[in-house]
Structure formats: C-alpha cells, structure tokens
Chains A and B, each alone.
Chain A
Amino acid sequence: MIEARDLRVTLARREILRGADIIARAGEVTCIVGPNGSGKTTLLRALTGEIKAEGEIRLDGQPLDRLSPTDLATRRAVLPQAARIAFPFTVLEVVRLGLLASPEPDEALPAAALAAVGLAGFEGRFYHALSGGEQQRCQLARVLVQGWEPVVAGRPRWLFLDEPVAALDIGHQLAVMRIAEDYAARGGGVVAVMHDLNLTAMFARSVALVEAGRITAQGSASEVLTTERLSRAYGCHLPVGAVPEGGDRPFLLPHGARPPRAV
C-alpha cells in the first residue's frame, strides 16, 4: 500500500502540491486524473521518490525516503511521459536496460515484455526511428522488464505510469490498460496518471481527482467521476451518464458539453 499524507511541493517558487493525500492499494489500478497543470505529474514524481516532497510517503509501511535507490529500483518501476534516448539504441537494447535494476537479470524477460506490448519482431529496429506510440510501448516493455513479477517474496511491486496511453491508438490503449489491470490482478500495484476519463472509469478501481495541488476526491469511479465534480474541476459542463448494462460505471460523451467558461 502507498499512503501519502499532506504532500507539499514547491517548484520554481510556485506551490504545485499543497497538501495532497492519496492512498493506493496493491491489487488495484489507481488512476490520478485532473486538469492540465493541477499537479498530477508532480504528485506521481513525488510518489516515485524522484522529487522531494514535504509530508509523509509510505511504501508498504516503510518511509519512502529511507529506501536506497537500489532498493527502490527492485520495488517499483516508472514509465516516463515522453522519452528521447540520447544514442542510437536498438529496441532490444532499450528494453534490456530494464534488467539493470535486477541483481540476477533474467535474459528471457526482454523478449517476453516485447511480446506483451505487441512489439515482437521489433528487436532490431532503432528506437529513434519508431513512431511515438511504438516508442511509448517500447518504454513500457522496459518498465515491465524491471518490475516483471508483480509480487516478490510476498511483497507487491509497483508500476508508476505517467500518461501511459497518451500517444496510442484505441486498440493499443485498451491493450496497455489490460496489461495494467492484469498486473494488479496478479497482486501488483499500479498508479497511473490519466487524461482519458472513460478508460479511467473502465480500468480504475480507485480514482483520485487532483485540483490545484490537492486531492479533492478519491474513491471508486462512480463516486468520483460525477457531473458536478468533473464540471467544476475541468471548468466546463461535463454531463456524466452510465454505461448501458455496465452497472454504475460512469460514461462521459462530451456531446452536450459547453465550451469552457471564460477565466
């Protein structure tokens, strides 16, 4: 379980997080949603230990700042938003970098991870010559190699994904979200920053809504993704319906949405 309390982060004299509380449980996909500039990515970077935050973060009971980089690398893997790689690495060489974190690298993992993200046969291609979506899936394969087993010695491992489906077509969006869902189903934890609210409603067991540096709501999709909350957070009228025969799963079709109100 990840428990973060009263997180505060100030970057370049601007207070990005102002007392955010969030909980993520192993075995679940937790999605962080919110408008541009609300602090979603900063929150994720604080949770991974990439940037220092005031407040308290516990990773499976242990304070995050007590864990060494090597230790952390065996317990969580992080997918960055968009990534340029400095030199002409092949796809296989990029994915193999995920083995760096492991004390006993398993040489069979890169091929399995590439197959999982639908890039089998791309091993010999150069990363920089791939399309944006292919690069994103290649990076996901590297992250999967790093955190391959969702549970190690009875302890869950964590995937942190920053907009994992941003550059993907709808088929690959679903495929990637299923990978996340499957990872959680096998006991691991997944925390993802998302823009697509329908995919969030479909795959998240827990949704955290970020507004101006605070979590204003966290709970199930049907609790958090409501007309009232979303309209307030995103500054436009967003009528939320329910998926036909989908239980109470929210569904957002912005056909009735009015343009954003003037600021």
Chain B
Amino acid sequence: MDQPQPERRAPGDRRARARRLIAALVVLLLAVATASLAIGATGTSLSSALLGWLRGAAPSPAEALILWDIRAPRTVMGMLVGAALAVSGAVLQGLFRNPLADPGLIGISAGAALGAISAIVLGGLLPPALFAVAGAWLVPLAAFAGGLGATVLLYRLSTRGGQTSIAVMLLAGIALAALAAALSGILIFMANDAQLRDLTFWQLGSLSGATWAKVFAAAPLILAGLLAAPMLARALNALALGEAAAAHLGIRVQRMKSMAVVSVAAAVGAAVAVSGGIGFIGIVVPHLLRLAMGPDHRFLLPAAALFGASLLLGADMIARVIVAPAELPIGIVTAILGGPFFLWLLLRNRTLLEGS
C-alpha cells in the first residue's frame, strides 16, 4: 500500500497525528502570509520595512500604501479563495463519496462564472435603486446563484435512488461546464466595451485586482461556507459508509446534503466572483491531506482550509515573481502544478472509475 502506515503507539488511530499536522499547517500559513506581504515586484526593501513595521517602526507612506492597500488585501483574498476552494473540494468529495469531485472539474465553477458574467453584463438592466443596493455584492451573489444551480443540477443528474454514479457525475459536469461556457459566450458577445474590459480582467483568473472592497464583498459568503463545513464533518464521516448506513447512525442525510450543497455553492461562487477560474486546489489539497492524516473530516476540513490558503498564496507568489515585473494569471500556475498531479491521481485510482 502506498498510504502511510498508521502510528505504532495507537494503531489505526490517527487523531494525534492529525492535530500535530494542523498545528504545523497554522505555522506554514503564517510564514507564507508574511512572505506574501514581503515579496513583490517592487523589490525586497519592503521585507525590511515589513519587519520593521512588525516591530513597531512606522513605514514610509509609499511602503504603507504598497503593504496596506495592495499586498494586504491580495494576501487576505488569496487566503480566503484558497481555503474556500480546498474546503469545497473536500466537502464535495465527501458528498459524492469520491476523491475526484472538484468544483472546477464538475462544472460548479463554470456555473458560478456564468452567474458572475450575467451580473457584469446584465446588471445595468436592473432597476437603478436595486442595482445601487446590491452594489459590490451583486457579482458574488450572482456567482453564488450560478454555482448553486450547477451543484443542485449536477447532484440531481448523477444520483438515482441515493446512489451517485461517478461516470454520470463527471460527464454531466463536462456537459454543464460546456453549456455554462456557451451561455457565458453569448453574454460576452452582447457586452459593451466597458463591460468587456471588466470581463477580461476578471476572466484572467488572478488575485491582482484585489482590493479591500472586493475582500469585504466576498468574505461573508466564503466565511459562511467555511464555517458551515465543520458542522458537516461528522455527517460526512458517516456518509462514507453510504447514505443508508449514515441514516442508521442518526444522521439527517437529506438536510446534511442540502447544507453541503449550499455551503459549497456559497464559497465557490464568491471565490470565482473575485478571482476567476482557479483550478485544482480543490482536488490536490484534500487528497494530499488524506494521505497524510486519514479521511476523518473533523480534521480534514480545517486542515484543508489552512493548506489551501497556503498553497494558493504560494502559487500567487510564483505568479508575481516568475516573470516580474509582469505577472502570470494564477490560474496558469495552479493548472501547471495541478494538471500532472490530477493525472497521477487518476492513474493511481483507476479502479475507482472502472469499478463504478
């Protein structure tokens, strides 16, 4: 077996190891977040400014601007988006009882994108009063609605009599993603020049446009999704046995499934609304963590939030530095790292697909 062997002292009980790993992931996230504040196109003098600032020395106005108005919101946004994608991946995988479920792969992100594009292009058609009220929330909320629609549709399509067919799920996800992309294409065709500029920036899939306003628009939905996840942990553990067995253990399966779908749609919708399409975080992070600490969702979900946030910040730093002073869209970085990983996962789990 290529899973690590459980510890010798308490055979089969990986809870202590999971707790240690979570503590290590907290440290990792703090380190990566500090680095994310310190590293960027304007050179390394900021690291000393940041260190001085942490010690209490006042930074210069230019340093303060770069730290507080550019890098800080970008760092917070990266953490929120990374945590949202990784936790959503873990919840979806638990819900579908399959390690191949990922918001990007099965069309949820495409549904959220359709929602966001609709809001950007058609938002002007809303009554001006309503548009003013919705304001910065309009795009995240529309993305949430799009993601929710796609998730519910996908679940309905791929589940018959409580059994989810993985083949149907993956194929239906491809079809839904294509459909959502086509509808998005029609909307882009209809867009005017100003809207096209907004769309292009957004579609690049980047954290570069992060502002505090965007952070505050996305944070409530993402946090709602993240905070709901731990409440699902016990139920997701029971669900690994199958829906009937989970119900026999006293889990209210239907209620739990609805809650999982809504929280995933909220977190993914808001993440897609502010960062465009960033793939593979949702599949890579939970899988690596399951190898390291086992599939217990009470530990897996918080660890996924921490590790997803760290990984996305890391990818963002690569995107910022590798072609400096220009920067790559972060979606390219995660795809280049995640694509081969996903292939490896598929080959390793052949039986999972062929057995269903």
- Tell me whether A and B are bound partners: yes
Identify the closest chain A residue to B355 (Cβ): A84
Partner pick for B294 among A50, A74, A90, CB 8 A cutoff: A90
Docked Cα-Cα span, A123 to B5, in Å, equals 11
Among B6, B249, B252, B294, point to the contact of A97 (Cβ < 8 A): B249
The answer to whether B11 touches A124 (Cβ under 8 A) is: yes
What residues of chain A lie closer than 8 Å to B252, measured between beta carbons?
Answer: 69
Name the residue of chain A whose CB is nearest to the CB of B245: A80
Contact across chains for B3 and A88 when beta carbons are under 8 A apart: yes
Within 8 A of B (CB), among A54-100: 69-74, 76-78, 80, 83-94, 97-98, 100
- Residues in A101-137 with C-beta less than 8 Å from chain B: 101, 123-126, 129
Interface mask (A119-163 → B, CB under 8 Å = 1, otherwise 0): 000011110010000000000000000100000000000000000
Contacting pair A80 B14 (CB below 8 A): no
A83:B250 contact, CB within 8 angstroms: no
- Judged by a CB distance under 8 angstroms, whether A48 is at the interface is yes
One of B3, B11, B98, B237 near A100 (C-beta < 8 A): B237
Known pairs A87-B295, A123-B12; A80 contacts B249 (CB<8 A): no
Given contacts A50-B247, A74-B250, A78-B248, whether A83 and B241 have CB atoms under 8 Å apart is yes
B233 → A minimal CB distance (Å)? 11
A87 touches B290 (CB 8 A): yes
Contacts of B294 in A (CB 8 A): 88-90, 93
List chain A residues, Cβ under 8 A from B11: 90, 92, 123-124
| Interchain CB contact under 8 A, A125 and B12 | yes
Closest CB in chain B relative to A215 CB, distance in Å: 23
- Of residues 260 through 303 on chain B, the ones whose CB sits less than 8 Å from some CB of chain A are 290, 294-296
Give the CA-CA distance A22 to B185 in the complex, in Å: 61
Q: How many residues of A contact B (CB 8 A)?
A: 35
Quick check: B251 and A88 within 8 Å, CB to CB? no
Rounded to whole Å, the gap between the CB of A38 and the closest CB of chain B is 20
> CA–CA, A71 to B247, complex, Å?
11
Within 75-131 of B, Cβ neighbours of A (below 8 Å) are at: 94, 97-99
In the complex, the answer to whether A83 meets B245 with C-beta atoms within 8 Å is: yes
Query: Do the beta carbons of A85 and B241 come within 8 Å of each other?
Result: yes
**Cross-interface CB contact of A89 among B97, B240, B247, B249, cutoff 8 Å:** B240
| Most chain B beta-carbon neighbours within 10 Å: one of A73, A74, A124, A125 | A124
Task: Indicate with 1 or 0, residue by residue over A175-201, a CB within 8 angstroms of chain B CB atoms.
Answer: 000000000000000000000000000
Q: Is B238 an interface residue (CB 8 A)?
A: yes
Whether A73 and B12, one on each chain, are in contact in the complex, defined by CB atoms closer than 8 angstroms, is no
| A101–B1 CB distance below 8 A | no
What B residues does A123 contact at CB under 8 A?
11-13
Q: How far is the CA of A219 from the CA of B42 in the complex (A)?
A: 87
Q: Which of A50, A78, A87 gathers the greatest number of chain B CB atoms within 10 Å? A: A87
B99: chain A residues at CB < 8 Å are: 87
Q: Provide the residues of chain B in CB contact with A77, threshold 8 Å.
A: 248
CB distance from B144 to the nearest CB of A (A): 27
The answer, yes or no, to whether B234 is at the interface (CB within 8 Å) is: yes
Q: Residue B242 at the A interface, CB < 8 A?
A: yes
A242–B347 CA distance with the chains assembled, in angstroms: 57
Which A residues lie within 8 Å of B249 (CB)? 73, 97-98, 100-101, 146
For B295, give the chain A residue with the smallest CB separation.
A87
Asked whether, in the complex, the Cβ of B250 is within 8 Å of the Cβ of A72, the reply is yes
Residue of A50, A80, A85 near B240 (CB, 8 A) is A85
CA distance A78 to B241 in the complex (A): 12
A97-B248 contact, Cβ under 8 Å, with A90-B12, A129-B1: no
Q: A70-B250, A86-B240 are in contact. List 12 more A-B contacts (CB 8 A).
A: A50-B244, A69-B251, A72-B250, A74-B250, A78-B245, A85-B241, A87-B240, A88-B290, A88-B294, A90-B14, A123-B13, A146-B249
5 contacts between A and B (CB under 8 A): A80-B245, A86-B98, A87-B295, A124-B11, A129-B1
**Which chain A residues have a beta carbon within 8 Å of chain B's beta carbons?**
45, 48, 50, 69-74, 76-78, 80, 83-94, 97-98, 100-101, 123-126, 129, 146
Residues of chain B whose beta carbon lies under 8 Å from any beta carbon of chain A: 1, 3, 5-6, 11-14, 94, 97-99, 234, 237-242, 244-245, 247-252, 290, 294-296
